[in-house]
Structure 1
Amino acid sequence: MATPNYGYEKRQKELAKKRKKEDKLKAKADRKLNGPGDGEAPADEAAETEAGATPPAQDA
């Protein structure tokens, strides 16, 4: 039976870790350039403030 190649497994694990770190840094840079939440959260907050900004009409 063949013996496990621990060096290969370690290298693959290191490469995966490096790839994940690079992806995380890229995503962080994209968020920094594009703003928080890719513009979705501010739109939701704006809709809530617009709805709450108009006072209800009073029938008097």
Structure 2
Amino acid sequence: MAKKPNYSYEKRQKELAKAKKKAEKLRQKQERKDSRPDDDSSTQDEPETAPAISPDADA
């Protein structure tokens, strides 16, 4: 008689592999974020100033 496959084990292994891959992607994303130069982030914090136009200016 042939051995019955253990689907629970296969499913668990697949879930573990998926969780490991997700954790690795998250770690790499965090590394990229941390390695970004500080120069770029400081320019994003300062909004560009534009002349204020009031809605009543046309009237």
TM-score by length of 1: 0.57
CA separation in 2, counterparts of 1:11 and 1:22?
A: 16
User: What is the RMSD computed on CA atoms of the aligned residues?
Assistant: 1.3
Residues 3-57 of structure 1 show CA distances to partners (whole Å, capped at 9, x for unaligned) of: 0000000000000000000000000000000028xxxxxxxxxxxxxxxxxxxxx
Structure 1 runs of 4+ with >3 Å offset: none
TM-score by length of 2: 0.58
Work out which structure has the larger RCO, using CA pairs closer than 8 Å and 6 or more positions apart in sequence: 1
Larger Cα-atom Rg? 2
The corresponding residue for 2:25 is 24
The corresponding residue for 1:3 is 4
CA separation in 1, counterparts of 2:3 and 2:25?
A: 37
Contiguous gaps of at least 5 residues in structure 1: 37-60
Identity over aligned pairs, percent:
58
Bigger fraction of residues in helix:
1
